[in-house]
Amino acid sequence: MAASLELSCWGGGWGLPSVHSESLVVMAYAKFSGAPLKVNVIDNTWRGSRGDVPILTTEDNIVSQPAKILNFLRKQKYNADYELSAKQGADTLAYIALLEEKLLPAVLHTFWVESDNYFTVTKPWFASQIPFPLSLILPGRMSRGALNRILLTRGQPPLYHLREVEAQIYRDAKECLNLLSNRLGTSQFFFGNTPSTLDAYVFGFLAPLYKVRFPKIQLQEHLKQLSNLCRFCDDILSSYFRISLGAFSCVNRYQQQIDFGEVHSHDSTT
């Protein structure tokens, strides 16, 4: 390989290589396409920017945002979609749009806006990954960004109200999960027997929702009823990330070095 590929992203927990959806999408795609990524987990040192993560760095390029990173990897010949037909490629785009429009607002709400979840789980976890005083600022900023995104895309101007949209976004998310479950059926992946971009996106969005332990869990409960989606996540975790389902890593301050195919984590399981 000519260029070395380094990915900066948020770290893992609850059995996942990363708890951040977008980082997870990129990591999954890299595994599926065979791209040799060196993963640098955000930690307590002051290196690099954290707001736009995940970020892919090579010798000459810095690429951010999952869609652009995946495009870049494809141009470097790491293509997980080469077996797909044109129609399947079109379907991929459509389903990704469905995920972003219907599922993402509720996932953002569950992680960043629902106060019980945010204050007891999300904020402490993210704050523990970064040094003081950034740990006081960044989680709040991410939470406001999430709320903004939900309100501006779903709320009604001029006085965007969260209450109006909350019920709607959860309804949409549950419907989206049902649609995904119907579409997946009993197949191993969404298009045949090898995973593709769509599988990376679905995994990235679903796995944190599935695994992270929250106090307020209505969407998680719904997801757990859809056994084929849960099986889909577990299969990818055990085949591509070699994290056994029994080894949950708790919130910790140790750096996790995740090299291609191996996980070293220094912590005790609960």
d(CA 77, CA 42): 27
148 interacts with other proteins by CB under 8 A: yes
| Nearest-approach distance from CB 43 to other proteins, in angstroms | 26
183 interacts with other proteins by CB under 8 A: yes
Closer residue to other proteins in complex, CB, 8/92: 92
182 interacts with other proteins by CB under 8 A: yes
| Nearest-approach distance from CB 225 to other proteins, in angstroms | 16
Q: In what order do the strands lie in the sheet with 5-9?
A: 37-41, 5-9, 55-57, 62-64
| Nearest-approach distance from CB 248 to other proteins, in angstroms | 32
158 interacts with other proteins by CB under 8 A: yes
Among 102, 109, 174, 211, binds other proteins (CB under 8 A): 102
179 interacts with other proteins by CB under 8 A: yes
Nearest one of 218, 110, 241, 235 to 184, comparing CA atoms:
235
Tokens found for residue 229: 């989606």
Length of the chain: 270
β 5-9/55-57 pair status: antiparallel
100 interacts with other proteins by CB under 8 A: yes
Burial of 140 by CB count in 10 Å (0-12 exposed, 13-18 middle, 19+ buried)? middle
Candidates 7-15, 75-83, 130-138, 180-188 — which segment interacts with other proteins by CB under 8 A? 180-188
Residue 166: which residues within 8 A CB-CB, separation 6 or more? Answer: 109
d(CA 244, CA 262): 12
Q: Residue 234: what are its φ and ψ, rounded to 5°? A: -65, -40
165 interacts with other proteins by CB under 8 A: no
Candidates 5-13, 120-128, 174-182, 238-246 — which segment interacts with other proteins by CB under 8 A? 174-182
Among 90, 137, 247, 250, binds other proteins (CB under 8 A): 90
164 interacts with other proteins by CB under 8 A: no
86 interacts with other proteins by CB under 8 A: yes
75 interacts with other proteins by CB under 8 A: no
For residue 201, the Cα-to-chain-centroid distance in whole angstroms is: 8
Closer residue to other proteins in complex, CB, 19/108: 108
Residue 148: which residues within 8 A CB-CB, separation 6 or more? Answer: none
Which parts of this chain interact with other proteins (CB under 8 A)? Answer: 65, 86-87, 89-91, 93-95, 97-98, 100-102, 145, 148-149, 152-153, 157-158, 179-180, 182-183, 185
